[in-house]
Amino acid sequence: MSNKMMKTGLHMRGEVLGHEHVKKSLAAASDFARPMQELVTQYCWGEAWGDDTLNKKTRSIINIAMLSALGRTHEIKLHTKGAINNGVSVQEIQSTLMQAMVYCGVPAGMEAFRAAEETLTELGEI
């Protein structure tokens, strides 16, 4: 495992999702799940998010759209919080979800809207 990418991943993951969330996720990882947490930190957060070609705001918008298409409610909630942390407005999240609904289908869009709305409400954004 690349030590540099792990450090980059820990930093980026903490900036986007919150350092407390990352600490809890890593601390709660069982021996079985620990390799997955390390891979996600290094590969997703270090290699992908650590590449500065796209800024964090753009990456957040892309992630919300892709996760909507995949129907990954838990991850939509997580990345909605990250999007707010990255400066994505509520209106931009809403517009992203509308776009995803048109291209991914109404059921996927409705599920994504519910997940994002729950998170935005919890955050006091709406």
Per-residue pLDDT of 12-68, as tens digits, reads 999 999 999 999 999 999 999 999 999 999 999 999 999 999 999 999 999 999 999
Domains and CATH numbers, the chain: 3-48 (no CATH), 56-122 (1.20.1290.10)
Q: Is the pTM of this model over 0.85?
A: yes
Is residue 72 left, alpha or beta, with left meaning phi > 0 and alpha meaning psi from -120 to 50?
A: beta
Q: How many CB atoms lie within 10 A of CB 58?
A: 12
pLDDT tens-digit series, residues 94-109? 999 999 999 999 999 9
